[in-house]
Chains A and B, each alone.
Chain A
Amino acid sequence: MAKLKLGMYWAATCGGCDVSVLDTHERLLKIVEAADIYFWPIAMDFKYKDVEAMEDGFLDVCLFNGAIRNSENEHLAKLLRKKSKVMVAYGACAAFGGIPALANFTTREKILEKAYKTTVSTDNPQGVYPQPSTKMPEGEITIPEFYNHVYKLSDIVPVEYTIPGCPPPADLLMTAVEAIVTGKLPPAGSTIAGEKTLCDECPLEKSEKPVINDIKRPFQVIPDGKKCLLEQGLICMGPATRSGCGAACIKVNMPCRGCFGPAKDIKDQGAKMLSALASIVKFDDEQKADQIINSMVDATGTLYRFGGANAILSPRRTEGEKP
């Protein structure tokens, strides 16, 4: 059998997804045995023109990680889509917007102002902002355009599979590679992870009737390692988050942050987590829900930590609508 042609690209991302490939350790040899890598900018020297030169559909699989935050990300997403038979949204950013999509809760202007004007270390007396195009005596130079909104990959191009996670665990990558190699692919549109939510994999004990009284941040409490973190007052996104990671964070006493996105039939992970929280707040007290939500530092960011490009409502904050 001919070796698979593999591409991997990073758009708006931290690089953790690329590194996650190395988490496969010695199993990496299996991947290399089954596939040749034709494009992987973080690991090897490739030029965009190498991709442009490929025939359409040349790559068997493209693992695309990172959100779409600027015109370069979009260009590459479209280009790689054309060149790939199977497009995989690899990691939380490509799948749901991820951490970069937290920017959707503010505006482009505010981000630029912060980055180029107001941080302590900024020295920009003329208030120059980077421009997509600058005319110079030598000619026009361009940089990618910084969008007002961060998109998930499937907002831009059709995507066959999603492998969620921040980053995806090596086991899931191996499952996917195995499926590709053996041709036993699930139906297009599938997410390669669990069907249930994280509580299914969670080793902690839950009470018969979970109830919470107040919210704590992870640094305020040393979890006892036995009881459900939510019941200990920590916002654990487990009930609203797809399983498949093996409860990695829980096992080191950290609450789930939701990087696997919503469960199969759920449209909005944040809204669902909010509804779940609201349902276990002691509810004989009308003030309690307000107290809980007010005690959450950045409630929206917590509930939509990875889902900023995957919510029912586009989270873009629009100036003019009263806060």
Chain B
Amino acid sequence: MFEPKMICFYCKWCTYTGADLAGTSRMKYLPNGVVLKSMCSSRIDPQHILEAFKKGADGVLIGGCHYGDCHYVTGNQLTHNRVAMLQKILPDFGIDPHRLRIEWISAAEGAKLVKVINTFTEDLRAMGPRRSK
């Protein structure tokens, strides 16, 4: 079976802590992603996402706080803007925009994190390897 490689950008306050919760709750999920932590999802530059695809990522996940709950007030809104705009141009680089996913996962949503990782991994498996590596 094709095993996709994923980069997961988590913000420190919500998604990273949510992932910790999944761990302390001993939930299980697929191990295809490697997590990179930043203080806020708004630190994630579109360049980082493109670099991940360039270096062979099959999928990129960005995890931030829910709207209105951002530790930095409006950071996740900026992230949303950037990701939404980047998704529009990704096809021009031969990349299915579904390979870039943004999810709001709070520190209490370990279960949601598990579900997101598993479904994203499955979706990427179904998409198969990227044609444009």
Contact = CB atoms under 8 A, between A and B. Distances in A.
B96 A321 contact: yes
User: Which of the listed residues B50, B92, B98 has the most CB atoms from chain A within 10 Å of its own CB?
Assistant: B92
Contact of B82 (A278, A284, A312): A278
A189 to B, nearest CB: 20
A316 B91 CA distance: 10
Interface residue tally of chain B, by bracket? 20 to 34
Contact of B50 (A266, A268, A299, A323): A268
Interface in B39-76: 45-47, 49-51, 53-54, 67, 74
User: Which of the listed residues B54, B74, B98 has the most CB atoms from chain A within 10 Å of its own CB?
Assistant: B54
A279 B44 CA distance: 12
B85 A277 contact: yes
Nearest to B99: A321
B30 interface: no
B77 A311 contact: no
B26 interface: no
Given A299-B88, A313-B93, A314-B93, A283 B54 contact: no
A279 B81 contact: yes
A278 B84 CA distance: 9
A271 B86 contact: yes
Contacts of B132: 313-314, 316-318, 321
B37 interface: no
Interface residues of A, number: 38
Contact of A283 (B49, B53, B74, B92): B74
Contacts of A286: 67, 77, 80
Contacts, number: 110
A232 interface: no
Interface string A255-279: 0000000000011101110110111
A21 interface: no
Contacts of A321: 91, 94-96, 130-132
B27 interface: no
12 contacts: A267-B47, A274-B82, A275-B45, A283-B81, A300-B89, A312-B51, A313-B94, A315-B94, A317-B91, A317-B132, A318-B94, A323-B96
Contacts of A283: 74, 77-78, 80-81
A311 B78 contact: no
B89 A290 contact: no
Given A271-B47, A293-B84, 6 more contacts: A272-B45, A274-B85, A312-B50, A312-B51, A321-B130, A323-B96
B47 A292 contact: no
A303 interface: yes
A133 interface: no
A271 B50 contact: yes
B81 A281 contact: yes
Contacts of B86: 271, 274
User: Which of the listed residues A272, A277, A317, A319 has the most CB atoms from chain B within 10 Å of its own CB?
Assistant: A317
A116 interface: no
Contact of B93 (A279, A299, A315): A315
A322 to B, nearest CB: 5
A268 B45 CA distance: 11
Given A278-B82, A320-B131, A284 B93 contact: no
A175 interface: no
User: Which of the listed residues B81, B91, B131 has the most CB atoms from chain A within 10 Å of its own CB?
Assistant: B81
Contacts of A292: 85
Contacts of A272: 45-47
A271 B46 contact: yes
A288 B80 CA distance: 10
